[in-house]
Copies of this chain bind each other. A is one copy, B any other.
Amino acid sequence: MDARYINPFVKSICNTFGMMCGLPVTVGKPLLKQDDGPLSDVSSVIGFSGDASGSVVLNFDFEVASKIASTFAGIEIDRNHPDFADALGELANMVAGSAKAQFEGLNISISLPNVIVGPNHNVSASKAAPRLIVPCNTDLGGFMVEVGMVMGKAPRKIAEPETAGAQS
């Protein structure tokens, strides 16, 4: 991923958590994801595609995820609450949506979020499409945002099944 593309995501993280949770975010220097870390308890994953392809992953531990989901929703939401995943999926949605709006002239659309819940899972580093990690800190605790983005269609390492008529 080209590091120049990270600024819209940084701005969007600050906007989204600031406006939707009333939570100022201190953003650390974005780092290239080198290996399979950091571990996460809750990962909110959303893709985007069109003139640029990529994904945004919000990585939380359980405690911070619950605090942020509660602040976002305005009610107490722990990991067993039926709205826990949807609240964190919506935050990923908004981070991606707000970043997208800053890439003027690019036609980009956003997929549906998926929220993965399980202690100490790992979002694997991809050799095919390297990611940047944005360390974020707030009064409710820290979290990480992973961003991968390539201009144009997502890269294909190998051809898709021909009889299915797939195109990239």
Contact = CB atoms under 8 A, between A and B. Distances in A.
A38 to B, nearest CB: 12
Contacts of A156: 93, 97
Interface string A112-130: 1111111111111111110
B109 A53 contact: yes
Contact of A126 (B85, B150, B166): B85
B48 A45 contact: no
A66 interface: no
Contact of A166 (B53, B97, B113): B97
A115 B57 CA distance: 11
Dominant secondary structure of chain A at its interface with chain B: mixed
B117 A121 contact: yes
Nearest to A98: B164
B114 A45 contact: yes
Contacts of A20: 158, 161
23 contacts: A16-B160, A43-B116, A45-B114, A46-B47, A47-B48, A47-B114, A48-B111, A49-B50, A49-B111, A54-B111, A55-B113, A55-B114, A86-B157, A89-B128, A94-B161, A94-B166, A98-B164, A101-B166, A102-B165, A112-B149, A118-B120, A118-B122, A121-B121
Interface of A: 11-12, 15-16, 18-20, 36, 39, 43, 45-50, 53-55, 57, 82-86, 89-90, 93-94, 97-98, 100-102, 109-129, 148-150, 153-154, 156-158, 160-168
